[in-house]
Structure 1
Amino acid sequence: MKSYIHTNSMSMLEDGSRFFTGINEVIYKNIEASFFLKDIISNSFGPEGMNKMILSEYEKIMITNNTVDILKNINVNHPISKLMLFFSLNQELDLGDSGGFVVIFGTELLKSSYCLLKDGFHISDIINNFIKAGKLTLKFLETLAIFRLADITNIKVVASLLSLTMNQTNQGLESYLAPQIAYACIKTLLHNKKNFSNSDIRVVKILGGSYEQIKTITGSVILRDTEGTIKKTKKANIVIFSGVFDLTSPETKSSILFKTAEDIMSCQSSENFFIEQIVKDLINCGINVIIANGFSDISLYFIEKYNIMALKIQSRFDLRRIARTCGAMVLGKIRKPNLEEMGKCDFVSVRSFGSQKVTIFQQETLQSKIFTIVARASSTHLLDFIEKTVFRSASVFKTIVRDNRFLAGAGASEIEMLRRLKSFSYEKTSGVQQFIIQKFAEAFESIPRTLIENSGQDPFKILSFLYNEHSKGNEYEGVDIQKSTTINTRRNGIWDSFACKYWAIKHSIEASTTILTVDQIIMAKKSLPDY
């Protein structure tokens, strides 16, 4: 029976709401919105990528080609762009690499689906075959992982692998920074092989000097001088207080009436006696380093009198860092600590880096819980770049610990997967499925093409060389960014982490198929601000 009832979705929504439906209004617009992120990221992708100058909402200028920094500092309003942004940032946060791959490859899949929709293919056929092609890709990826890192404790090999993931913005920096990061990560791993945490690798930034003066300290570094004249202590027994080292104030207000000068002197002498008694109790426990949120003048007098090192730290993060380094507990009250609450450190000293004095808590044992990389540079921009590179490389090392397999880099694995997917579609499929899988495979060409374009070379020429070499069985041939030719990645040690590439492909497929499943967008009325 024919229905004459006209349904209007807008009649059910509040005034000011917006409703979009259909392929032209929703799916095509969503695909076009995802191109925005790719246009920003693509020319910063790879070792020859260009920098972006970003002015943050706090009017801080940032010059970088790092995917995370770019994506974090752009305000995106479109929900589809936010979705792609979410997958990319999660990739970088979890694995430390291939966030740009997620945006470029995911957008290229959407571009392929756009062409398929224009040719009349149904959206459900595209999604189902994309998912099937994704599963085939991950199977092929397993067979391409031909290199395994046999010895994770080899500093030279690990440093060379970490340097491949570093941005080449500052030429020569990776040769100094990568060995320092590799050393810190490996020594931290030896202490805790099952649960390596990249948060155990700390960075202290000191302005001045050059990145050739970067050092790795076994322990923690605090950007502060000690309070007294004691600057060095060996075999330190440490107590940490979260409050001010002084007599605790009473909870209720009270007034004291002094009648004579002797009453004032006796009151002051009694306070001095109690503070001196606290210091003596700490000495009897073997304490020779006191760390607190602050010190009163009289407490510093007695601490200096009994040759105890005093360090004032007001940051609770630094207190926790030192407590973890020395194995101490942070005490809330000024009292005599137990043996379990005391910390031990082999050497505590004050040292100067240029004009900056720092206090170093150094452990002589190589199996320290925390390592600190002292970054030196002539500008704050370069210091920030070094800090982000350290954290990113530590995340990549964590990924290598979980999965030590590697793929051919420089676009070689992408071209090989493209070739294998197309061969599979010709041999095992036909009709609609064959055409969609071929379109899916062609999206892999975007990665080597972007590398070639960013290096200033002819993409048609280099891609033809790559296809020719891979058709001959040379599956390790990748893009040579220095010359207008191909390069054997296996012979030259150019690798991509298998885990990073595996999850990047998975996230790209999930992002693109999720976007394609959206056929309606309902935007609620914007709420007015409360005044």
Structure 2
Amino acid sequence: MLGSTASSMMFKEGTKYLSGVDEAVLKNIEACRDLMNIVRTSMGPNGMNKMVINHLGKLFVTHDSSTILHELEVSHPAAKIIQIAAENQEAEIGDGTCFVLVFAGELVSLSESLLRMGLHVSDIIEGYSKAGKRVLKLLESADEVPCQKLEDIRNEEEVIKGLLAPLSAKQSGYEDMLAKLIAQTCIYVCPKDPTKFSVDNVRVAKVEGSGVGSTRFMKGLVLTRDSMGTVKRVHDAKIAVFNCPLEHASTETTGTVSITSAEQLKEFSVGEEKLLKESMEAVAEAGVNVVVASQTISDLALHFLERHGIFVLRVPSKFDLQRIARVCGARLLARLGAPMAEEMGHCPLVEVREIAGSKLTVFEQSEDCPSKIATIIVRGATQSIMDDIERAIDDGVNTYRALCRDPRLIPGAGATEIELAMKIRRFGEETPGLDQYAIKKFAESLEIIPRTLSENSGMDGTETVTNLYNAHQAGKKDCGVDTEGLTIGDAHVSDAVITKSWGIRLAVDAALSVLRVDQIIMARPAGGPKPPGAR
């Protein structure tokens, strides 16, 4: 819709100018509500899957919110703000994206009734800001919210408690098995200083076949690739990692070779072969018995390496090449020739193994290696199932990283949200002025988490929230939604405090950013040819 005459005269022809509560604010609220409703049904253990086909035609069947958001092409600017907040949650913590989307969407959605009551946007923003700061203070206080702390981040049983919440939401039914597996893997690769834990040290290799229950972890690095030659197993491996092609060397400058006879052509070919042979023999004489390269390995180079019984592996990925170098303690070589002693890596065993017809190359790691890496071998009937398991593992590993930074846990399953809602509503009643209405709506927004968990499980959301309030008023601070028994009870899962606090902070900031918008000015689209799909 075109704006006023004065506004349209100020901008170029074709510019859209929307302002006011009806045209800008309520339209933004509607867009945020629509985005929230898309992912809301995917929350919790009984969340529904989404079938998303991206612009490349790739199919995704998942209820992982971060994956759904990443593949959706959200164009509305207000909904885009909430999407960016959820992506920041994924980048900072690695879990809790659905919480950010749903909570921010509910905050924006409930503000509509306040606007229709006659409250000014500034009053709503002030009330939401006060409530948000109050919630973060309550989370930091162990007296206000029941909180337990992991005494030992390397204790498997304690770590499993912290991993059950994100895993049960992603892979209900496999959460116990996956939590134990991820706990063992993360504890193995955890450095002496837990705050320096790197998620990159936990790798995933997917092998189609069998069932999810056959998933296991191995110490070291596993690549879903076969070696190039006939050598498939090397003990006490001395490894050279080349970041250059293993073939005839080419000059930096362009040159022309004039050959006038067959004899000259033969001598030229023999000369090239001799140079390559000398390079490969120098590698073998240095004691190298495993060669890894990221670029081309010519048949002639492979022939000479095979004559010396050297294991040859080509790894196109630069990231995997760097991981191999880190596993064995080698340096990347940008030149073709014999490596020096300090440039070679070492592994107790490098071998090719076969699982369900798939060839895997395993680099076993010595126990004294300063940078440990472990690989989880995921099994599944289809690629889609294995992709979903990989996303769940990624969330579990990121949760372990968050617990290394802050080992505190609070009750999950909506228990903490109801407890916070009670205290924020009481805080609103004690606050004078118009801010109290927004503070009470903030408390009501927190109810969306247990309400969504119960509705996705087939329960009555209003009845569940009412029962939870009654239980918490009776002193049961850890009472949450039991999605298996379809009732309420003690929360058997726990959320990390750092995940919840970051989620609330980002959701509130995103909601306030949307509410502060009172005008939308869209420039005229650029000219030029239309994309192929629009013709």
TM tier, smaller: over 0.9
Please say if residues 216 and 373 of structure 1, whose CA atoms lie closer than 8 Å, have aligned partners that are also in contact.
yes
How do 1:90-239 residues align onto structure 2 when only pairs under 5 Å count? 90-143=88-141, 144=145, 146-167=147-168, 170-190=171-191, 193-239=194-240
Please say if residues 45 and 172 of structure 2, whose CA atoms lie closer than 8 Å, have aligned partners that are also in contact.
no
Q: Does 1:86 align with 2:88?
A: no
Give the distance between the partners of 2:498 and 2:171, measured in 1 at CA.
27
Please say if residues 224 and 358 of structure 2, whose CA atoms lie closer than 8 Å, have aligned partners that are also in contact.
yes
Q: What amino acid is aligned across from residue 285 of structure 2 in structure 1?
A: N
| Secondary structure at 2:323 match in 1 | helix
Equivalenced residue count is 521
Q: Does 1:32 align with 2:35?
A: no
Match of 1:378 in 2: 381
| Secondary structure at 1:57 match in 2 | coil
1:408–1:265 Cα change, 3 Å: same
Give the distance between the partners of 1:327 and 1:402, measured in 2 at CA.
27
Query: How far apart are residue 449 of structure 1 and its match?
Result: 0.9
Give the distance between the partners of 1:467 and 1:108, measured in 2 at CA.
19
| Secondary structure at 1:352 match in 2 | strand
Query: How far apart are residue 252 of structure 1 and its match?
Result: 3.6
Give the distance between the partners of 2:229 and 2:489, measured in 1 at CA.
60
Give the distance between the partners of 2:228 and 2:119, measured in 1 at CA.
74
1:31–1:264 Cα change, 3 Å: closer
Give the distance between the partners of 2:368 and 2:330, measured in 1 at CA.
19
1:291-346 deviations in whole A, cap 9, x for unaligned?
Answer: 22333333323222222212222332322221122222221220222233211112
Give the distance between the partners of 1:265 and 1:434, measured in 2 at CA.
91
Query: How far apart are residue 269 of structure 1 and its match?
Result: 5.2
Please say if residues 228 and 309 of structure 1, whose CA atoms lie closer than 8 Å, have aligned partners that are also in contact.
yes
Q: What amino acid is aligned across from residue 75 of structure 2 in structure 1?
A: N
Q: What amino acid is aligned across from residue 313 of structure 2 in structure 1?
A: L
1:442-493 deviations in whole A, cap 9, x for unaligned?
Answer: 111111111111111122322222111111221111111233432112xx3x
Query: How far apart are residue 268 of structure 1 and its match?
Result: 5.3
Give the distance between the partners of 2:184 and 2:219, measured in 1 at CA.
10
Give the distance between the partners of 1:214 and 1:18, measured in 2 at CA.
54
Match of 1:479 in 2: 481
1:396–1:379 Cα change, 3 Å: same
How high is the TM-score relative to the length of structure 1?
0.92
1:468–1:258 Cα change, 3 Å: same
1:380–1:267 Cα change, 3 Å: same
Q: Does 1:21 align with 2:19?
A: yes
Give the distance between the partners of 2:28 and 2:266, measured in 1 at CA.
80
1:406-444 deviations in whole A, cap 9, x for unaligned?
Answer: 111111111111111222233x32342333322221111
Q: What amino acid is aligned across from residue 322 of structure 1 in structure 2?
A: I
Please say if residues 408 and 496 of structure 1, whose CA atoms lie closer than 8 Å, have aligned partners that are also in contact.
yes
Match of 1:58 in 2: 56
Give the distance between the partners of 2:269 and 2:431, measured in 1 at CA.
93
Q: What amino acid is aligned across from residue 503 of structure 2 in structure 1?
A: A
Give the distance between the partners of 1:98 and 1:194, measured in 2 at CA.
20
| Secondary structure at 1:107 match in 2 | helix
5+ long unaligned stretches in structure 2: 531-535
Query: How far apart are residue 258 of structure 1 and its match?
Result: 7.0
Query: How far apart are residue 85 of structure 1 and its match?
Result: 0.9
Q: What amino acid is aligned across from residue 431 of structure 2 in structure 1?
A: T
How do 1:519-530 residues align onto structure 2 when only pairs under 5 Å count? 519-530=518-529
Q: What amino acid is aligned across from residue 457 of structure 2 in structure 1?
A: S
5+ long unaligned stretches in structure 1: 1-5
Q: Percent identity?
A: 36
Match of 1:343 in 2: 345
Please say if residues 25 and 518 of structure 2, whose CA atoms lie closer than 8 Å, have aligned partners that are also in contact.
yes
Q: What amino acid is aligned across from residue 369 of structure 1 in structure 2?
A: K
Give the distance between the partners of 2:259 and 2:109, measured in 1 at CA.
84
